[in-house]
Amino acid sequence: MIKKITSQALLPRIFRGMEAGDSLKQSQVWLRPDFTLERGCRVCIAAESGSGKSSLLSFINGWRSDYDGRILFDGRDISLLNAADWSRLRTFHLSLLPQELCLFPSLTARENIQLKNALTNHKSTQQITTMLERLGIADKADTPVARMSVGQQQRVAIIRALCQPFDFIFLDEPVSHLDERNNREAATMITEEAAASGAGIISTSVGHNLLLPESTTIRL
């Protein structure tokens, strides 16, 4: 279990040389000596496009390592983790819904979800069907993702992100293409899932926020 994620003097390398700028000086994350996300938190990271929201989530989830500073999981530097460690963390401890969704276009909606669930056995087929129904895409379950709209794809990706146990779930602009009803339903499902295990929810937004109740907004 990961209880605490800490960043120390974290800065994407692409921002090197911009340390004196206002945006970095005002950031609550970049270059802070001790920025911490606790298990059970509800955080919305709001910032303009290009300020590094996706980069932050990629760094924490081990997708990228082009940063200065350190990221620690319960005090352990993640730069020391190997491929097997990351596989285990991504299967049981960290869930990430990336902005680009990373679905497999040739597979159907249900197959995309099953591909994750086959790793974790976290949800039954019935539970997956219920989630598809709640987000209004049950009729698209057997449609290849390539033939679905971006909004529908976003909902498939949300369900897939919930098909695993996690200590933290990271959602990168998860509802950018969703209407308010689906936004609210998605937020409810994510909150239910996180609350059941005491997990933290970290969502990013450029203005179209995931409607999480009682979330803290952090400026990047």
| Closer residue to another protein, CB minimum distance, 42 or 160 | 160
By the rule CB under 8 A, 80 interacts with another protein:
no
Q: Can you count the helices (H) and strands (E) in the chain?
A: 7, 9
By the rule CB under 8 A, 81 interacts with another protein:
no
3-class SS of residue 92: helix
Figure out which of the listed residues 16, 20, 75, 83 binds another protein, where binding follows CB under 8 A: 83
> How would you classify the pairing of strands 4-12 and 216-219?
unpaired
| Closer residue to another protein, CB minimum distance, 39 or 90 | 90
By the rule CB under 8 A, 144 interacts with another protein:
no
> Buried b vs exposed e over 64-91: b needs ≥16 C-beta within 10 Å?
eeebebebbbeeeebeeeeeeeeeebbb
By the rule CB under 8 A, 63 interacts with another protein:
yes
By the rule CB under 8 A, 107 interacts with another protein:
yes
By the rule CB under 8 A, 119 interacts with another protein:
yes
| Closer residue to another protein, CB minimum distance, 47 or 97 | 97
Minimum distance from residue 90 beta carbon to another protein (Å): 4
Report whether 191 contacts 212 (CB < 8 A): yes
